[in-house]
Structure 1
Amino acid sequence: MVRITSIAAFAASASATVSLRTLRDLETSSTVNVLVTYRKGSGLAKLNIESLSREERSQSVLNTLTAENFAITASAVELAKSAGVEYTQYWIDSVVAIEGATKELVAQLAALPNVESVASVEVYQLPAVQDETRNVIAANSTNEWGVEIIKAPATWILG
């Protein structure tokens, strides 16, 4: 009963931006790897790239996304630095991956004003790759219909 109340209190304090899976993971372990997703900026909508060349346009989009997303996610980076945990900041999207976040850090991240969600990193197991080589039988190695009629194999031998 105590666990249920602590989960409910934690969920209420986190402004409903923490996923249920993250809350469950924090109940079973002291730390969890999370993705902090921020609300998107509007930098690309304001960008005027019509008169630029392809290379300049690409560089302009990269610079805009990098500057905007690093500015948007700076608050999570500061919290991660102060907590002493590893983090990865992504320029293509407003996301910060934090490794080893504690319950307190997750609560602080969720309380940030422009955070959209805090969710556990999902790890999927890929099936083992199986070698499906099959023996090719002579019946499958014949030429297509009509290739023999036009004497293509003789031409192929000549090079």
Structure 2
Amino acid sequence: MKDMDIKTETQDQETKTEEKKIAVTEAIRYRKRAQAAEKSLEDMAQKVEQLNGELEDTRKTVSHLERRQRIDALLMDERAVDIEAARLLTEVSVESMDDPDIEMVVNDLKESKPYLFKSSQGSVARMMAPSDQIDTDRDVSNAATEAIQTGRRSDLLRYLRIKRTKI
């Protein structure tokens, strides 16, 4: 009977040892899973931070593009001759303002730099010197022929002006 008690005792010890081994291996496995989860959490937090930064950049870009579109629309309504130059001047003024008012800036620009806008008659010709005014009686083909024959720059420019007003 003692042999049986010893065998049972030995089996109990082996079972306890196996249970301890199982508990230790499970603890190791849980610890590894916890470490992997923490690493994954850190990676996700970094990714969220990066995406928030990209979102903010995108919002700024959209805001800038909307403001630019608004400026372009107002400049077209006011009949700007050189939209790019007028836009740049308007954007500089708007960016320096605390509370931007695009319409006011465009109106100020129209008053301070009228040469950037078409006059009420519909042409910029009245702002040019008399020698530079477009001869409206001249036909586009005659001006082109003269520019080709003479090769002078002034004839070429006269042809281009006539062509632009005919279109």
TM-score using structure 2 length: 0.23
Give the greater-gyration-radius structure (CA).
2
> Relative contact order: is structure 1 or structure 2 higher (C-alpha 8 Å, sep ≥ 6)?
1
Q: Which has the higher strand share?
A: 1
